[in-house]
Amino acid sequence: MDTLEIINLHAETNKIGILKGINLKIRSGEIHAIMGKNGSGKSTLCNVIMGHPKYKINQGQIKLNGKKIEKLPTNKRANLGLFLAFQNPTEIQGVTMNNFLRLAKNTNAKAQNKSSKHISPGEFLQTISRGMDLLKMDKKLAGRSVNEGFSGGEKKRAEIMQMAILEPKIALLDEIDSGLDIDALKTVAKAIKHLHKQTKCGILLITHYQRILNYITPDFVHIISNGKIIKSGDKTLARKLEKHGYEKFVKETS
């Protein structure tokens, strides 16, 4: 059983406070949806958990399995089993998807002392092939530079394909549904559900639309506004939000 705990988290960037006291607990197997308007701090939350250098934590803690991680470098957090699916994945020219992911896989295996799990290039080709099948991606993309020339939809699929290969304990999915058409959304959602069932990972799903929650049923729904979680509930909360909009909840809790 893995647990990610966020305790009274305050964070700022460029001296502007964005997170103003977030409290959250995600366990293995749980799916938490975080919904909020643009600028509410939901993407920032993911980036701060992962340790993006542009944010500074001025109060609070992040604990993974009881261990404080807010001072750990980003790669160590990944080694411990955290994964971030980026909202806008960056392109890295000159580094192939294949080589990059094989390196990541082997590095993580080593860090987790699964030395028997070192993968050769040949074996890895099979692994990545399976991942790409799951996301219905063109196999040619594995030989391309990371995200280079990928369409918006392909980039999002590539993020979940990476999740399939790296098998994290807790996955943070930052607006994985944005920019996806219906078919792509169905494929991506199906893949996420499959991985969730297989690995029992915990999932933090950031979104501002109800749509993806039609395919992935959350166990918990939290509404974030102005850097704070203002209401938590179960999946029915998402439907209420769809019906009444954010303003109602913001008014209720202010």
Partner 1 sequence: MKKSIMHKPAQKTIISDDISCMNTFTNDDQPLTIVAVLDKGWKGTKTFSLNLKNKNKNVNFFIIIIAKNSEEFSFNTEVIHEAPNTKSHYYIRSILLDNSKVTYKGLLSIKKTAKSSESYLSHHSLLLSQNAKVETIPSLEIEANDASAGHSASMGKIDDEMMFYLLSRGIDEKTSKDILIKAFLEKDFDKIEDENAKKILDEKIEKILKKTLK
The DSSP output letter for 118 is P
Q: By C-alpha distance, which of 64, 159, 167 is closest to 117?
A: 167
Instruction: Look at the block and give the residue holding tokens 């749980």.
Output: 30
Size of the site for partner 1 (CB under 8 A): 31
Does residue number 121 form part of the binding site for partner 1 (CB under 8 A)? no
Q: How far is the CB of 240 from partner 1 (least distance, A)?
A: 34
Could you say which residues in the range 153-182 bind partner 1, by CB under 8 A? 162, 166
Q: By C-alpha distance, which of 29, 13, 19, 41 is closest to 195?
A: 29
- When the beta carbons of 94 and 121 are compared against partner 1, the nearer one is 94
For residues 190 and 160, what is the distance between their CA atoms, to the nearest angstrom?
Answer: 11
Q: Is 102 left (phi over 0), alpha (psi -120 to 50) or beta?
A: alpha
The DSSP output letter for 64 is E
* Chain centre to alpha carbon of residue 29: 14
- When the beta carbons of 39 and 73 are compared against partner 1, the nearer one is 73
- When the beta carbons of 55 and 249 are compared against partner 1, the nearer one is 55
Does residue number 151 form part of the binding site for partner 1 (CB under 8 A)? no
Q: How far is the CB of 34 from partner 1 (least distance, A)?
A: 19
Instruction: Figure out which of the listed residues 14, 90, 115, 236 binds partner 1, where binding follows CB under 8 A.
Output: 90
Q: By CB under 8 A, name the binding residues for partner 1.
A: 50-54, 73-75, 77-79, 83-84, 86, 89-90, 92-95, 100-101, 103-104, 107-108, 111, 145-146, 162, 166
